[in-house]
């Protein structure tokens, strides 16, 4: 019998284990053919040569006598898979039993088809249980030995551990998938923010300018309330995409969690106990984050923990300080965090836990394990986006039947100085008479902005794009512009580029950029300078009025 790729024939041979041939003398059946014989049954005569090749790659080798069902392991059963040769079965059933249940039928079926065919090779990947109970991702390349009638008699496979490569591939795929989801979410949320700005603006005008009262006023208030709730949804989508304009400030984490205690107890019920282990430190644990968003993250994690403890259990909240050092070994990948001190918030339950498959999809938007429409699938996806946007990381450890621990890492910052007393501001919107150029490509947002500003007494001119604005200023007898209100992202000419053009001839002009994206997510060339201002969408008339007045008065402070 002759094979495409064969092992050296006789153990007593004095020839080299592998004979290198001149390319011109190769047999036409296979360019790498080595002319040696391999028996159809019985032990390999050149097992030591096989072992030498295997040790060079740290692979395991299995030799399966297809007719007899016998299985031997010339190499790697102990070194790669952790099994003692005396405890491992010599039957093919041992191999079947150790394959991951989700891979068993696929791998066995593929090999069965290969044996029934006429090919000489088989390649496949599957998960194989190590002696310690963990699973390795294996790549097996096998040679199928056939008799003179073409019937498979022996299956000799080389098993390579590709676990690390598989993990890197899975991580890359998840990262690319999250990025794609983020881009889609950001685009949808940006368009919705334009709609919501219009709805909020005209609702306020109807209520304030026209003095609506009674049932009509109630109807308008309902419309405005719905728009406000919709803005929360777009904020979640933008937070997942890491483009949500957060309002971060320095907070003391332990105080925030302590204040949540009553809310947590009401959410969890009487059959779940809450334990807190907080690292107080000398000055407490401070981080810079949007407090409302962090509260929402913790509440979301608590609700998930409650749902995982269907028959009661224990929830543990813990805070501590973790130091990430460059190139250090940590429970999270140090490449995901800059070196430094981090506030770690842990939420642990002793519930049902998660499968590996669930953990792989955990942070994908709209993925949920809850039934009956009880979950939107945005909770953990939003949490992921907020934490990453805040310079931190979130990771999950879970084992089926043993519970789940979610760890949040946020950069630790020094404690802020004690706040000084500030007199409450007036509720009436500030007014003015300065000249303002409104540059906005969305017609609805432009019209509501112009109407609000004119109602406040400002002299307003408007344009839909940079070219129209340049022509408008060129034809105007009075070229003075006190303030430019412009969308940051526009077709043809961005708001930043137009602002640069305008300030060359009118350096005293103040600039307020508006955008549905987080400012830091914009292209570096489009970001504002220190003296410029930023107003995120959606905004209502009061927010617009306050920001305009803040920008116009910024140069009037005493020096």
Does the residue 180 lie in any domain? yes
Does the residue 385 lie in any domain? yes
Judging by DSSP bridges, how do beta strands 340-349 and 533-536 pair with one another?
Answer: unpaired
Mean pLDDT, residues 397-424 taken together: 78
Least confident of 10-24, 70-84, 106-120: 10-24
Cβ proximity of 502 and 478 under 8 Å: no
**pLDDT of amino acid 528:** 52
Does the residue 139 lie in any domain? yes
**pLDDT of amino acid 200:** 85
- Is residue 289 located within the same domain as residue 339? yes
Least confident of 133-137, 159-163, 192-196, 345-349: 192-196
Residue 65, pLDDT > 50, answer yes
The residue ranking higher by pLDDT, 457 or 225, is: 457
**pLDDT of amino acid 558:** 42
Instruction: Select, from the ranges 49-58, 210-219, 375-384, the one with the highest average predicted confidence (pLDDT).
Output: 210-219
From edge to edge, which strands make up the β-sheet containing 483-487? 459-463, 435-439, 483-487, 510-515, 533-536
Mean pLDDT, residues 144-148 taken together: 93
Cβ proximity of 502 and 483 under 8 Å: no
The residues, ordered by sequence, that sit 6+ positions from 124 with a Cβ below 8 Å of its Cβ are 107, 110, 111, 139, 140
Q: Tell me if residue 287 falls in helix, strand or coil.
A: strand
What is the distance between the alpha carbons of residues 353 and 406, in angstroms, rounded to a whole number? 11
- Is residue 406 located within the same domain as residue 455? no
- Is residue 387 located within the same domain as residue 318? yes
Determine if the peptide bond prior to 301 is cis (ω within 30°).
no
Q: List phi, psi (to 5°) of 135.
A: -110, 135
- Is residue 448 located within the same domain as residue 316? no
- Is residue 404 located within the same domain as residue 444? no
Does the residue 311 lie in any domain? yes
Please tell me the pTM assigned to this model.
Answer: 0.45
Q: What is the CATH number of the domain that holds 405?
A: 3.30.565.10
What is the distance between the alpha carbons of residues 179 and 201, in angstroms, rounded to a whole number? 33
Taking alpha carbons only, the member of 26, 61, 24 closest to residue 46 is: 61
How many other C-beta atoms lie within 10 A of the C-beta of residue 319? Answer: 21
**pLDDT, averaged across the chain:** 77
pLDDT over 70, % of the chain: 71
**pLDDT of amino acid 214:** 78
Q: Tell me if residue 177 falls in helix, strand or coil.
A: helix
Judging by DSSP bridges, how do beta strands 510-515 and 533-536 pair with one another?
Answer: parallel
Mean pLDDT, residues 57-79 taken together: 88
- Is residue 449 located within the same domain as residue 394? no
Residue 315, pLDDT > 50, answer yes
Residue 348, pLDDT > 90, answer yes
**pLDDT of amino acid 527:** 53
Mean pLDDT, residues 530-536 taken together: 78
Does the residue 268 lie in any domain? yes
Q: Structural domain of residue 189, as residue ranges?
A: 175-240
**pLDDT of amino acid 5:** 37
Residue 544, pLDDT > 90, answer yes
Residue 310, pLDDT > 90, answer no
Q: What is the CATH number of the domain that holds 468?
A: 3.40.50.2300
Q: Tell me if residue 55 falls in helix, strand or coil.
A: helix
Does the residue 83 lie in any domain? yes
Q: How far apart, in Å, are the Cα atoms of 312 and each of 111, 269, 278, 348, 553?
A: 46, 9, 23, 14, 57
Number of domains in the chain: 4
pLDDT over 90, % of the chain: 26
What is the distance between the alpha carbons of residues 72 and 63, in angstroms, rounded to a whole number? 5
Judging by DSSP bridges, how do beta strands 60-65 and 71-75 pair with one another?
Answer: antiparallel
- Is residue 382 located within the same domain as residue 316? yes
- Is residue 111 located within the same domain as residue 191? no
The residue ranking higher by pLDDT, 254 or 239, is: 254
Q: Bridge-partner residues for 346, per DSSP?
A: 318, 407
Domain boundary among 188, 207, 240: 240
The residues, ordered by sequence, that sit 6+ positions from 438 with a Cβ below 8 Å of its Cβ are 446, 449, 450, 453, 460, 461, 462, 463, 485, 486
Place of tokens 């003692």: 84
Taking alpha carbons only, the member of 512, 483, 479, 480 closest to residue 495 is: 512
- pLDDT band per the 50, 70, 90 thresholds, residue 534: confident
Mean pLDDT, residues 432-448 taken together: 92
Least confident of 59-68, 145-154, 239-248, 273-282: 239-248
Residue 45, pLDDT > 60, answer no
Least confident of 119-128, 202-211, 461-470: 202-211
Two structure tokens written together for 526: 């489009």
What is the distance between the alpha carbons of residues 533 and 529, in angstroms, rounded to a whole number? 8
- Is residue 390 located within the same domain as residue 460? no
Residue 86, pLDDT > 90, answer no
| CA dihedral sign, ordered 231, 237, 243, 247 | positive
How many other C-beta atoms lie within 10 A of the C-beta of residue 336? Answer: 14
Residue 31, pLDDT > 60, answer no
- pLDDT band per the 50, 70, 90 thresholds, residue 283: confident
**pLDDT of amino acid 76:** 86
Mean pLDDT, residues 341-360 taken together: 86
**pLDDT of amino acid 423:** 38
The residues, ordered by sequence, that sit 6+ positions from 267 with a Cβ below 8 Å of its Cβ are 299, 302, 303, 306
Q: How far apart, in Å, are the Cα atoms of 52 and each of 61, 225, 380?
A: 11, 74, 50
Cβ proximity of 387 and 288 under 8 Å: no
What is the distance between the alpha carbons of residues 54 and 513, in angstroms, rounded to a whole number? 64
Place of tokens 């401070």: 286
Taking alpha carbons only, the member of 46, 56, 57 closest to residue 18 is: 46
**pLDDT of amino acid 10:** 37
> HSE-up of 47 (CA within 13 Å, CB side)?
13
The residue ranking higher by pLDDT, 493 or 154, is: 154
- pLDDT band per the 50, 70, 90 thresholds, residue 493: confident
Domain boundary among 161, 196, 229: 161
- Is residue 213 located within the same domain as residue 114? no
- Is residue 149 located within the same domain as residue 28? yes
- Is residue 144 located within the same domain as residue 290? no
Length of the chain: 559
């Amino acid at each position: 019998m002759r094979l495409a790729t064969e092992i050296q024939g006789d153990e007593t041979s004095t020839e080299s284990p592998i004979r290198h041939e001149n390319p011109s003398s190769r047999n036409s059946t296979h360019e790498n053919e080595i002319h040696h014989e391999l028996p159809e049954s019985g032990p390999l005569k050149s097992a030591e040569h096989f072992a030498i090749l295997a040790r060079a790659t740290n692979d395991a080798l299995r030799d399966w006598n297809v007719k007899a069902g016998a299985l031997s392991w010339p190499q790697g059963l102990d070194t790669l898979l952790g099994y003692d040769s005396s405890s491992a079965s010599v039957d093919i059933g041992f191999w079947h039993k150790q394959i991951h249940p989700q891979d068993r039928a696929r791998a066995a079926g593929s090999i069965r088809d290969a044996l029934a065919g006429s090919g000489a090779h088989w390649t496949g990947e599957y998960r194989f249980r190590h002696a310690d109970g963990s699973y390795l991702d294996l790549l097996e390349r096998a040679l199928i030995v056939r008799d003179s009638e073409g019937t498979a008699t022996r299956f000799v496979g080389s098993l390579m551990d590709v676990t690390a490569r598989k993990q890197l591939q899975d991580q890359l795929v998840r990262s690319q998938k999250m990025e794609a989801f983020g881009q889609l979410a950001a685009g949808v949320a940006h368009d919705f923010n334009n709609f919501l700005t219009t709805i909020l603006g005209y609702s306020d005008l109807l209520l304030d300018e026209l003095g609506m009262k009674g049932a009509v006023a109630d109807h308008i208030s309902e419309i405005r309330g719905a728009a406000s709730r919709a803005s929360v949804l777009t904020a979640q989508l933008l937070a997942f995409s890491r483009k949500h304009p957060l309002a971060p400030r320095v907070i003391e984490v332990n105080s925030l969690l302590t204040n949540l205690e009553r809310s947590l107890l009401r959410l969890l019920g009487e059959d779940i106990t809450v334990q807190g282990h907080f690292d107080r430190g000398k000055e407490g644990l401070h981080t810079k984050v949007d407090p409302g968003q962090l509260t929402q993250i913790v509440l979301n994690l608590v609700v998930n923990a409650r749902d995982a403890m269907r028959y009661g259990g224990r929830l543990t909240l813990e805070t501590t300080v973790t130091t990430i050092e460059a190139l250090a070994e940590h429970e999270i990948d140090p490449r995901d965090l800059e070196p430094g001190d981090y506030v770690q918030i842990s939420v642990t339950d002793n519930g049902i836990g998660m499968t590996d498959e669930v953990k792989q999809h955990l942070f994908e938007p709209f993925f949920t394990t809850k039934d009956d429409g009880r979950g939107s699938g945005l909770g953990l996806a939003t949490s992921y986006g907020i934490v990453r946007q805040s310079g931190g990381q979130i990771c999950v450890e879970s084992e089926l039947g043993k519970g789940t621990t979610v760890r949040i890492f946020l950069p630790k910052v020094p404690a802020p100085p004690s706040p000084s007393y500030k007199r409450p501001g007036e509720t009436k919107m500030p007014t003015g008479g300065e000249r303002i150029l409104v540059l906005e490509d969305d017609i609805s947002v432009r019209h509501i902005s112009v109407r609000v500003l004119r109602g406040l007494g400002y002299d307003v001119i408007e344009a839909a794009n940079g070219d129209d604005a340049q022509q408008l200023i060129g034809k105007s007898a009075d070229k003075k512009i006190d303030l430019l209100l412009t969308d940051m992202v526009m077709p043809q000419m961005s708001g930043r580029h137009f602002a640069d053009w305008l300030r060359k001839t009118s350096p005293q002009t103040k600039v307020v950029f508006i955008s549905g994206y987080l400012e830091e997510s914009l292209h570096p060339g489009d970001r504002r300078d220190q003296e410029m201002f930023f107003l995120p969408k959606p905004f209502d008339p009061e927010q617009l009025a306050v920001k305009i007045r803040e920008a116009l008065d910024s140069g009037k402070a005493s020096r």
